[in-house]
Amino acid sequence: MDSKMMIRRIGCVLLLGILGTALHAQSNRSSIEIDYEAPKKYIVGGVGVEGNTYYAEHQILQQTGLHAGMEVTAPGEDITNIVKRLVAQRYFEDVAVVIDSLSAAKDTAWFKICIKERPRVSRWTFSGVKTSERKDLQERLNLRPGREYSDYVRSTSVDIIKRYYKEKGFLLCDVDVDVQKDSMIRSAIRVNFDVKKGNKVRIKHINFIGHDGNVSEYKLSKAMKETHSNKWYNFFKSKKFKEKEYQSDRKNVLEAFNEAGYRDARLVRDSIYYVDDKHIDIDMVFDQGRQYYFRNITWTGNSVYPSEVLDEVLKIKKGDVYDMVTMEKRLHGGGKQSEMDVRKLYMDNGYLFFNVTPVEVNIQNDSVDVEMRISEGKPAILNNIIINGNDLTNEKVVRRQIMTRPGYLFSQTDFERSIREIASLGQFDAEAIMSPGGWSILPNPSSNTVDLVYNVTEKPSSQLELSGGWGAGTFVATAGVSFNNFSTHRILDKNAWRPVPLGDAQTLSFRFQTNGTYYTTVSASFMEPWLFGKKPTSLSISGYYSRMTNSLLGLGAAFLRNDKVFEVFGFNAGLGNRLKWPDNYFVLYNNLSWQTYRLTNWESSYFAFDTGVSHNLSYTVSLNRNSTDQQIYPRQGSDFSASLQLTPPFSLFRRHTFDAEGNRQSVNSWKDIDYSTWSASNRFKWIEYHKWKFSGAVYTKLIGDLVLMSRAQFGFLGYYNRNWGYSPFEGFQVGGDGMSGYMTYGAEIVSLRGYEDYSLTPMRYTPYSTAYQSYAGHLYDKFTVELRYPVILQPQSTIFVLAFLEGGNCWADIREFNPFQIKRSAGVGVRVFLPMIGLLGVDWGYGFDDTANGGSQFHFVLGQQF
């Protein structure tokens, strides 16, 4: 055999050997057998991923923790945990980890992770729902396009939708889920939730079974705060059934039994069943047990206050019904804010760590002996007073308002008052600071100290007014700005002008209104709530000018005249001081003002004369007490004000008179002066009067945020000298919406809804006016009852609705005064507070007692009306 043939044969043998080895390796990879009874350790040679579309290979491998070079046991917990981790992500419908190949020594394995991704949703839709409901559902479900779809997503989404409609009273709501492939996007689906709401289900009857006359059905029904039957006394309450609230109301009903002395009362069973497809009934079966009474009440552990003092706070005597609910309130609080309880008594004296536990030490027949076990602890000293959230307002503004200071003993009353003072500042969200998240008490028992945290939320307080309007045939333009958080301290800081320096709670305002030559007014004011920044003494300064003429600028007509003019110049300066007695809610104001009224041929019935100049120099002292919990929507507290405004009694100093020709003559006494011969310019050059006013409002929280406001008002304008008579200015004009319109000065406008503007003000004869009569409102009273309920209570806006009953009247002389001769009205309204604009409102009122000026009336309100 020659050498060439030998080489060919050897080459063929090697080629067949190589091919055989390769085929054997390929066969070995496809037929790897795993013995689950005998797990084996492998070195990871490599890891691959198969079946992924949306997720990159490295993202999946990061979740597994599997990488080349590590040692794993297969089969075993290592592989099982990898599968569990991937399945827990809920991104994959199926997950498998397989050995793709082994090394020749079978100690190294190459793994492959085989996944099947869940389908992605290109669009989520709803059918059978309203547009507003669709928005609510989208917010609750938070379903975004591109999200994976799974049984978990389906079940949780359906559950959320059903709960949403159950809260609205649709207890039989059902949801079908329709899944379809998206023909436009590969590997995507469309999901539609088909909602079948059914009928709205309401509670028809709640049957209380097993109670006697000592606990009435009415009392049990009122104890249920959120679960109401269709009884007449639940007319304004929702009849929807809410599962979560019902569980709480079951406990509330038992508390009603406990309050009546039935300490052993229990709910045996309850059942909820449909009486038709729109109503359900609830049966509640009770075992009320026997009624118990207090016998002996003793105190132990008390050293700060004697037992007699604690008994007076507890207000429970031997023989009283064993009312556990009231006892708990008088021990630990929870009743009305103004009521004292034992816990508050101790905490006002610094005993923050105080605790009292009532223990029933003896029960004999229907009598219970109770021992009040007190742990007084040590007084807590205020350590850190922390203020958070004041991004704009200076911290000193908040600190000077609060009653809690480092080093003081802790006082619950001072702490509550501090929250109220912050809420009434007007710079922060009142609802936020008064909620539990608005403050924190951080006690440190080891050192007997406590930190207080006030979490304030800034809100816009400055107001900008830019308006133009057409009314009464004329155009009126208004421009005004009020910076209610101004800072004079930062005026020289160029970085603070954004647009003006802010942060010190000062008020700086400017306002300009005109329609051309007919009417122009300009005013400016400044108020510093803490003069010199150390004491609660306020300083207020204001100046103004107003001018009206008989010019007319209207649609299709223009008459520019200046032969009839009414002008007012004025300046005010006042100081206010917070008092410590009778309590620190009182504020005493002192104000000095000067006004000049200039009338030229002003032929109208507004004032007692047409031509002349009057000067008004007056001093006002007022005493105010405001304990309301906030400014815009107070829920509790009161606001009282009494004031006296005085001018010098110029007529009592006069020793001269004028005859019919205007010649000046001397007299012996002011009593000898006959003012009927005086001209208006002489008689009213210096006006004189004494003006008394009183206003009192009480806010009572009824249920939830439902508030009853009761207000009484009284005003009287008197004179020093009957011969001189009443002042032609500073009277009262009663009736209408209380908005002064153009007549900004010269009279006090008092609203009385349901009647035309000023229509309840009497007119009296005057020889100095071409109309021979003028408004003569020298005495008025007014009584208001308002029921208020909020719609929105947010920093950006506050909206509340109201219903009112109102009555009042106006008289020309105190001798005509009859408090029972009032003009009555009733109606409804709405108020909207926007930080940039202020308080706006509209009322509809119906006046009952004046057919000519009453009846159905709409009133528009700008600003707070009093």
Cα dihedral 527, 531, 534, 536 sign: negative
* 193 vs 115: CA distance, rounded Å: 28
Q: What mean pLDDT do residues 413-425 have?
A: 91
| Burial group, residue 125, by CB count within 10 angstroms (0-12, 13-18, 19+) | exposed
pLDDT at residue 276 greater than cutoff 60: yes
Looking from the CA of 178 toward its CB, the CA atoms found within 13 Å total 8
* 557 vs 288: CA distance, rounded Å: 83
* 19 vs 27: CA distance, rounded Å: 12
From the DSSP assignment, how many helices (H) and strands (E) are in the chain?
15, 40
**Roughly what angle, to the nearest 10 degrees, separates helices 131-141 and 151-167?**
130
pLDDT category at 669 given cuts 50, 70, 90 is: very high
Per-residue pLDDT tens digits for 288-345: 999 999 999 999 999 999 999 999 999 999 999 999 999 999 999 876 656 789 999 9
Q: Is the separation of the CB atoms in 331 and 341 below 8 Å? A: yes
Alpha-helix residue ranges (DSSP H) falling in 50-191? 57-64, 77-88, 131-141, 151-167
pLDDT at 2 (0 to 100): 44
Q: Could you tell me the CA-to-CA distances from 327 to 254, 341, 556, 617 in Å, in that order?
A: 15, 10, 76, 59
The DSSP element (H or E) to which 755 belongs, if any, is none
Per-residue pLDDT tens digits for 787-813: 999 998 887 788 999 999 999 999 999
Largest CA-CA distance found in the chain, in angstroms, rounded: 172
pLDDT at 561 (0 to 100): 63
pLDDT at residue 715 greater than cutoff 90: yes
* 416 vs 440: CA distance, rounded Å: 12
Q: Tell which wins on pLDDT, 499 or 178.
A: 178
Looking from the CA of 158 toward its CB, the CA atoms found within 13 Å total 16
Least confident segment among 136-145, 473-482, 623-632, 741-750: 741-750
Question: Torsion angle of alpha carbons 814, 819, 823, 824, nearest 10°?
Answer: 160
* 776 vs 730: CA distance, rounded Å: 10
Whole-structure pTM value = 0.68
pLDDT at 323 (0 to 100): 93
The DSSP element (H or E) to which 801 belongs, if any, is strand 798-811
* Long-range contacts of the stretch 741-746 (C-beta < 8 A, 24+): 742/519, 742/548, 743/606, 744/521, 744/544, 744/546, 744/568, 745/544, 745/546, 745/568, 745/570, 745/595, 745/597, 746/568, 746/597, 746/606, 746/607
pLDDT category at 498 given cuts 50, 70, 90 is: confident
For residue 403, the tally of other CB atoms under 10 A from its CB is: 16
β strands within 726-797, DSSP E: 731-734, 747-750, 763-765, 773-775, 779-793
pLDDT at 50 (0 to 100): 84
pLDDT at 34 (0 to 100): 67
> What's the DSSP call for residue 630?
-
Q: Is the separation of the CB atoms in 732 and 761 below 8 Å? A: yes
pLDDT at 517 (0 to 100): 73
Identify the bridge partners of residue 523 per DSSP, sorted by sequence position. Answer: 511, 544
For residue 506, the tally of other CB atoms under 10 A from its CB is: 21
pLDDT at 45 (0 to 100): 87
* 270 vs 211: CA distance, rounded Å: 14
For residue 464, the tally of other CB atoms under 10 A from its CB is: 11
* 59 vs 73: CA distance, rounded Å: 23
Per-residue pLDDT tens digits for 508-555: 999 998 877 778 899 999 999 998 777 789 999 999 999 988 765 544
pLDDT category at 863 given cuts 50, 70, 90 is: low
pLDDT at 24 (0 to 100): 34
Least confident segment among 167-171, 354-358, 640-644, 841-845: 167-171
Q: What mean pLDDT do residues 620-627 have?
A: 95
Q: What is the percent of the chain with per-residue pLDDT over 90, rounded to a whole number?
A: 56
Average pLDDT over the chain, rounded to whole? 87
Per-residue pLDDT tens digits for 216-257: 999 999 999 999 999 888 887 888 888 889 999 999 999 999
Q: Is the separation of the CB atoms in 475 and 469 below 8 Å? A: yes
pLDDT category at 466 given cuts 50, 70, 90 is: confident
Q: Tell which wins on pLDDT, 464 or 49.
A: 49
pLDDT at residue 781 greater than cutoff 90: yes
pLDDT category at 473 given cuts 50, 70, 90 is: low
* 254 vs 428: CA distance, rounded Å: 40
> What's the DSSP call for residue 34?
-
Q: Tell which wins on pLDDT, 642 or 144.
A: 642
pLDDT at 342 (0 to 100): 95
Least confident segment among 69-83, 365-379, 605-619, 673-687: 69-83
Q: Is the separation of the CB atoms in 291 and 323 below 8 Å? A: no
**Roughly what angle, to the nearest 10 degrees, separates helices 77-88 and 57-64?**
120
Nearest to 646 by CA among 677, 610, 619, 626: 619
Looking from the CA of 864 toward its CB, the CA atoms found within 13 Å total 5
pLDDT at 836 (0 to 100): 66
pLDDT at 368 (0 to 100): 96
pLDDT at residue 744 greater than cutoff 70: no
β strands within 278-405, DSSP E: 279-287, 293-300, 355-364, 367-375, 381-388
pLDDT at 21 (0 to 100): 31
pLDDT at 232 (0 to 100): 87
pLDDT at residue 72 greater than cutoff 90: no
Least confident segment among 437-441, 463-467, 599-603: 463-467
Q: Tell which wins on pLDDT, 591 or 489.
A: 591
